[in-house]
Structure 1
Amino acid sequence: MEPLSKNTLKNIPNPPGFSLPLAPPTSGKKDVIPPRVDPALQAKRSSDLRMKRAWELALSPAKSLPMQAIMLYFSGSGVQIFSLGIVFMLLTSPIKAVFNIFSAFEPFKTLPPWGKPGQESYLPLTGPMVVYVICQALVLSLGLYKTSTMGVLPTSSSDWLQFETRSNPPEWSSVRSFSLGLL
C-alpha cells in the first residue's frame, strides 16, 4: 500500500461536527497581539469560577455518602476491627473537616461586591460553607446510625444500669420492721 498524496488528503471531507479555526495558528511570533480583556470582566469570571469550585467542595461530602453507606453495609453488623475502623473514620473525619473549614475554603476567598482589591473575605462563601457543614453532619449521622445498629452506642436505659441507684422504698411493712427489731 502506498502512502496518500497531499492532493488525496485535501479531497477527504471533514468529519461531522468539525469546523476549521477562524484565525490561522500562530507560529510563535510576537507580532500577533492578543485580544484585550476587560479587567472587571476577568475578575468577575474568576470570582464566578471560584464560587463554582466552592460549591463543588461543599457538595463533595454528600457525593461520597452512597459509597460510604455501601462500605458500612458490607462491613457487617458485628463488632469487628474492620467495621469499627470504618465507623471511627466516619465519626472523626467530619469533625476534623468542620474544624478545618476555613483552611478548606481558603483558595476560594473572593472579593465581596463592595470590597476593594486585596480585601478578599469568606463572606461570599457563607452559603457553600453552611452546605459543607450540613453535608459533614450527614456523614456523621451515618456513622452514628451504624454505631447504633452495631449496639455500640448506648441508647437504652439498660445501657446505663450501672449508674442508677435504688431509692428507698416509700413504705415498710410491719413484719419487716418487727423482724428488724428482734435482731
Structure 2
Amino acid sequence: MSELTKPAATPRWVSELASPPPVKSKTGAIPDPPGFPTQGSSGTGNKASCAPKRDAGKDLAKTKKPPTAEEMDTLKLKKAWEVALAPVKSLPMTFIMMYMSGNSLQIFSIMMVFMAFKNPIVGLAATNQAFERFETDSNRAKMVQVKLAYVAMQLVALAVGVWKVNTMGLLPTTRSDWLAWEVQREPLESAAVAL
C-alpha cells in the first residue's frame, strides 16, 4: 500500500529535457568544415589548423557581389525559355502512351485523349501567369518571343491530341460522316421495266 502512494521518480528523459546535457567537445581527429564555427573550447590545435580555411571562406563570401540587373534579366530569360520548352519535352512520352493505348474506344484511351486536350488548353489559358514572375520592364520585348514559342509548343501538344482522335475515327473526315447534309441526287433519266 505504501508503494502505491509514493510519487514515482521522474524519468531521465524528463530531467534531460528540462536541462539538456552540455555539448560534447569534438575530438581533434575530424576538423570542422570550412565556414562552420567550432563548438566547445577544447581542441585548440584543431582550431588553429582550420582557421585559415574558415577565414578564406568568409573572405570569399564577403567578396562575392550580388548579381546586377542585367545578369538577373539574363537568368530570368533562360528560366523563361525552360518553361516555354517544357511542353515539348513531355510530348514523346505522351505520343508513346497514346500509340500504345490503341485505337479502340476504351476508358484508358479516352482518358489519354482527355489529358492530351486538357493540358494544352489549360497551358494556353495561363500563358501570362506562367511568365509573369520572369517578366521585367527591361526584358519585356524578349518575353514576347518566349510567349510565342510557348504558345507554339502548346499547339504542337494539341496537334498530338487531334492526331489521336483522328486515329480513333472520331473526327468527321470522310464523306459518310456528313450524310445527313447530303442532298439526294435527281436522276437525269429513268428506266421502265420491260415486259
Distance 1:76 1:21 in 2: 63
| 1:123 aligned partner | 141
> Quick one: which of 148, 153, 161 aligns to 1:143?
161
5+ residue gaps, structure 2, are: 1-26, 30-51
Q: Residues 6-85 of structure 1 correspond to what in structure 2 (within 5 A)?
A: 6=29, 24-26=56-58, 34-35=62-63, 37=65, 42-85=68-111
SS in 1 for 2:112: helix
Aligned-pair identity in percent equals 37
| 2:176 aligned partner | 158
Distance 2:154 2:123 in 1: 8
Whether the 8 Å CA contact 1:94–1:136 is kept in 2: the answer is yes
Which structure has the larger Rg? 2
Distance 1:158 1:79 in 2: 20
**Cα deviations across residues 134-170 of structure 1 (Å, max 9, x unaligned)?**
111111111111111111111111111122121433x
TM-score where L is the length of structure 2: 0.64
Judged with a 3 Å threshold, the aligned counterparts in structure 2 of structure 1 residues 173 and 25 are, in CA distance, closer, same or farther, namely closer
| 2:43 aligned partner | none
5+ residue gaps, structure 1, are: 7-19, 114-121, 177-183
TM-score where L is the length of structure 1: 0.68
Q: Which has the higher contact order (CA 8 A, sep 6+)?
A: 1
CA-atom RMSD in angstroms? 3.1
**Cα deviations across residues 85-114 of structure 1 (Å, max 9, x unaligned)?**
11111112212211210011111102226x
Judged with a 3 Å threshold, the aligned counterparts in structure 2 of structure 1 residues 21 and 141 are, in CA distance, closer, same or farther, namely farther
How many residue pairs end up in the alignment? Answer: 146
